[in-house]
């Protein structure tokens, strides 16, 4: 999905796809030419499963499509930290979700922070000295409790709620 399209822009199209009952399982990958672009966060909030820069190599794009089709999220490493840092530093744009976080156990909040730090389930398991299956279960329960479609939405929630800040990573 391109953010800037004629007619309905990519942000609105992503939102419409995510909200449509017949398309709820559809995954959206946002492609952008901007390495610092606040629209990306709007796309993630709207239901996008990830984003990449348009200059990505074809093999990386194919990998991203496979990752997203499998239900995971993918954020371009070259821009993720800068986007999060820029977004999180703007308090007027943050929307705390205190009730969503209250539903989580302490361990789930810890796992959510690690997801927001970019760790995979295997890395979370290693960090917390738990099995990868237990890490996957924690992530799945967090997504269910919060109503997130994928890990990208978990990352946005972690930053918007203040659970994680760029300085704490």
Instruction: Give pTM, 2 decimals.
Output: 0.56
Higher-scoring residue by pLDDT: 85, 141: 141
**Per CATH, domain 10-89 is 3.40.50.1370:** no
Report the pLDDT averaged over residues 122-129.
94
CATH number for the segment(s) 106-161:
1.10.10.10
- The boundaries of every CATH 3.40.50.2300 domain in the chain are 10-89
User: How far apart, in Å, are the Cα atoms of 124 and each of 60, 68, 117, 150?
Assistant: 24, 20, 10, 16
Listed ranges 16-25, 27-36, 106-115; the one with the highest mean pLDDT: 106-115
Using the 8-state DSSP alphabet, how is residue 92 labeled? Answer: G
- The boundaries of every CATH 1.10.10.10 domain in the chain are 106-161
Residue 156 scores a pLDDT above 70: yes
- Give strand ranges (E) for 14-67: 29-32, 50-53
Residue 94 scores a pLDDT above 70: no
pLDDT tens for 4-23 read 788 888 888 988 998 888 98
Using the 8-state DSSP alphabet, how is residue 2 labeled? Answer: B
Using the 8-state DSSP alphabet, how is residue 38 labeled? Answer: T
């Amino acid at each position: 999905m391109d953010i800037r399209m004629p007619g309905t822009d990519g942000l609105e199209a992503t939102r419409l796809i995510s909200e449509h009952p017949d398309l709820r399982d559809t995954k959206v990958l946002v492609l952008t030419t901007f390495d610092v672009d606040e629209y990306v966060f709007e796309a993630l909030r709207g239901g996008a499963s990830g984003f990449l820069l348009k200059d990505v190599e074809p093999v990386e794009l194919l990998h991203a499509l496979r990752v997203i089709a499998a239900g995971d999220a993918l954020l371009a490493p070259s821009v993720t930290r800068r986007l999060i840092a820029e977004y999180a530093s703007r308090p007027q744009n943050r929307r705390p979700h205190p009730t969503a976080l209250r539903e989580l156990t302490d361990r789930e909040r810890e796992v959510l922070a690690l997801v927001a730090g970019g760790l995979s389930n295997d890395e979370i398991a290693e960090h917390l000295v738990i099995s990868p299956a237990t890490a996957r279960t924690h992530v799945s329960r967090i997504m269910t409790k919060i109503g997130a479609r994928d890990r990208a939405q978990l990352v946005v929630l972690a930053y918007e709620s203040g659970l994680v800040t760029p300085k704490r990573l």
